[in-house]
Structure 1
């Protein structure tokens, strides 16, 4: 599925849950950040994921802290390598983004699993973000 089809399916909530796992979240962040500032992308992606999750009956799965972490780290990677024109090229350059354990380098599991992290951005409680 090309980028416009992916975005359309996401916004229309016709994107299958299988196509919107970790890699799909990264792709969404990358696509939005290529067109918008970090501040705008934080709002656009967060709202979009909440709406998508609600449409799939998974609204309780949403986590604001995790969402913002991934948007911020994707933005950091884009700034480091802005020439990637394709998402696959971007991921090939930054395969560490595929590691779903990265947030746990900065937050305790209990923190990220809590209701405050689900509804608000929480600063790291273990190691600070360096970006």
Structure 2
């Protein structure tokens, strides 16, 4: 038996996670993007979630005729930020348990689409190499990097 986020072979897909998030919301704004990332991290762990999201967002942008909207640094930064707050291991641990609304209520900063600007200069994020590859934060490190 499979869940709504798995193929018959049991693997989670970007498209099924996207369908799960948009079915309950009816739209795909920032909160839904965070929800999608949270689901991927909870089910796959941070590393696998990053690969799934990276590929899925890239394909979705290309299909929409807007491949320039894909941004690798932002995709990874959001995945790492959400994983940090969700317990990142894909297990049952982490804040919010299996309830995204509780998770979002507990971490309202994640619902601010400008959150990466606390860590990056605008020029850094606008640079072409930040769109295609990973760039470390240049204003302040992520919270887990300061320990």
TM category (shorter chain) comes to 0.7 to 0.9
**Aligned CA-pair RMSD:** 2.6
The alpha carbon displacement at 1:7 in A equals: 4.8
Partner of 1:60: 68
Higher alpha-carbon Rg: 2
Residue 63 of structure 2 corresponds to residue 50 of structure 1: no
How does the TM-score come out when normalised to structure 1?
Answer: 0.83
Aligned-partner Cα distance in 1 for 2:133–2:38? 22
Whether the 8 Å CA contact 1:7–1:28 is kept in 2: the answer is no
| Counterpart selection for 2:105 from 92, 97, 104 | 92
How does the TM-score come out when normalised to structure 2?
Answer: 0.75
Asked which structure has the greater RCO (Cα within 8 Å, sep 6+), the reply is 1
Whether the 8 Å CA contact 2:95–2:106 is kept in 1: the answer is no
The alpha carbon displacement at 1:121 in A equals: 0.9
Q: 1:58 to 1:21 in 2, by over 3 A?
A: farther
Residue 79 of structure 2 corresponds to residue 71 of structure 1: yes
Partner of 1:117: 130
